[in-house]
Amino acid sequence: MDGRVEAIWTTPEESAPMEPAEKVRALPGGLDGDRYRRGTGYYSPFDVCEVTFVAAEALDAIASEAGIDLSGGEHRRNVVTRGVDLSALLETRFSVGGAVFEGTRPRPPCRHVEQVAGLDGLMDALRDRGGICADVVEPGEFAVGDAVEVGEDLSFDGEGWPRPSRSGPRGHKTRNRTPGTPGMHGPSARDALDFAADDGSYPLYGVVLVGWLFGFTGVPDGVLYSLANLLPGYGFRALADLFALLFEVAGVALLVAGATALVYRASAAAP
């Protein structure tokens, strides 16, 4: 992957304009001086991305297709890359300058970004190209022009089983994990389903799935705001904001509860 950092953006407070930087230090919890590391982001502490990445190619496409210029940081992402397949960085460790990150999940657009930018249609324009979230694994400084270098793929464990994913189903990341055995991709989907059925864990996986859907995908938010746009009056938009926040909080709570129950079940069943 021959990609580089094209721009860096941070801001100390929610809704404040993004400020460009030539270099920045990645610290545990985010970028030095940025609102989500400071705990002052719009979604803090419920839905926090330590560092957000977006592709310059996506921003170019938005400018061309929708006529929306995001060159001033209106996208509200921290790092703009060029020549990088960001989806390939999910469940993967990668380095930028002296820092190491781990891609965790896609970052869908939200109405807040559109409202702060004052650009109608921005949320829809960013849909499916809003970039990704990443955690800081090793602190360090990086700058505009630094290369993005892929490191360790964390989507599978040493025995070929998929690791628990924070970014949802990742079928396109399946790799051949059995050396010398062409066509083998570790345990099959049927093996995994049979394991879940024998273990009695289906309901818990359902709880985790619902929590992920409501807490991290932005799908319920999109439905709410679409309905609000069809109804006149500011009151419906305010209600949509309230219910979107409630859905996200409930989703995170469900995901944590379901995942905790699965871990407990697995530890109780261990010999």
Residue 33 to residue 58: CA distance in whole angstroms:
26
What confidence score (pLDDT) does residue 186 get? 37
Is the Cβ–Cβ distance between 71 and 101 less than 8 Å?
no
Q: Would the pLDDT of 257 be above 60? A: yes
Residue 151: the pLDDT is 86
Query: Would you say 43 and 37 are in contact if contact means Cβ atoms under 8 Å apart?
Result: no
Residue 259 — φ and ψ, nearest 5°?
-65, -40
Instruction: Give the pLDDT confidence score for residue 173 in this predicted structure.
Output: 34
Of residues 163 and 218, more confidently modeled: 218
pLDDT of residue 20 exceeding 90, the answer is: yes
Helix runs in 104-173, H state only: 111-117, 122-126
268: amino acid identity, one letter: A
Structure-model confidence comparison of residues 5 and 270, the more confident one = 5
Is the pLDDT higher at 193 or at 111?
Answer: 111
How much is the pLDDT for 224? 65
Claim: this prediction has a pTM higher than 0.85: no
Helical residues (DSSP H) of 9-55, grouped into ranges = 35-38
List, as one string, the DSSP characters of 204-236: HHHHHHHHHHHHHS-HHHHHHHHHHHHS-SHHH
What residues contact residue 264 under an 8 Å CB cut-off, 6+ apart?
none
- Tell how strand 23-27 and strand 140-143 pair up: antiparallel
CA distances from 49 to 53, 99, 108 (A): 10, 16, 11
pLDDT of 169 reads 40
| C-alpha dihedral (196, 46, 16, 74), degrees to nearest 10 | 20
- 212 or 78, higher pLDDT: 78
Whether residue 212 is predicted with pLDDT greater than 80 in this model: the reply is no
For the cut 60, the answer to whether the pLDDT of residue 148 exceeds it is yes
Collapsing DSSP to helix, strand or coil, 248 comes out as helix
Task: List the beta bridge partners of residue 150.
Answer: 94
Dist CA 201 CA 199 (whole Å)? 5
Residue 44: per-residue pLDDT:
84
